[in-house]
Chain A
Amino acid sequence: GAGVSQSPRYKVAKRGQDVALRCDPISGHVSLFWYQQALGQGPEFLTYFQNEAQLDKSGLPSDRFFAERPEGSVSTLKIQRTQQEDSAVYLCASSPAGDNEQFFGPGTRLTVL
Chain B
Amino acid sequence: AQSVTQPDIHITVSEGASLELRCNYSYGATPYLFWYVQSPGQGLQLLLKYFSGDTLVQGIKGFEAEFKRSQSSFNLRKPSVHWSDAAEYFCAVGDITGGGNKLTFGTGTQLKVEL
Contacts and interface: CB of A to CB of B under 8 A. Distances in A.
A101 B106 contact: no
A48 B102 contact: yes
B93 to A, nearest CB: 11
Contacts of A91: 43-44
Best-surrounded residue of B46, B103, B104 (most CB of chain A within 10 A): B103
B53 to A, nearest CB: 14
A106 interface: yes
A68 B43 CA distance: 22
Interface residues of A, number: 27
Interface residues of B, number: 26
A65 interface: no
Contacts of A102: 46, 101, 103
Given A102-B46, A107-B43, 17 more contacts: A33-B100, A40-B108, A42-B107, A42-B108, A43-B105, A45-B102, A45-B104, A48-B98, A50-B99, A56-B99, A56-B100, A59-B102, A93-B44, A100-B101, A102-B103, A103-B46, A106-B43
Contacts, number: 66
B108 A56 contact: no
A106 B41 contact: yes
Contacts of B49: 100-101
Contacts of B106: 42
B100 A31 contact: yes
Best-surrounded residue of B4, B43, B98, B105 (most CB of chain A within 10 A): B43
A42 B84 CA distance: 21
A101 B102 CA distance: 11
B108 A33 contact: no
Considering the complex of A and B, which 7 residue pairs feature the smallest CB-CB distances, nearest first? A42-B105, A104-B43, A104-B44, A100-B101, A48-B100, A106-B43, A56-B98
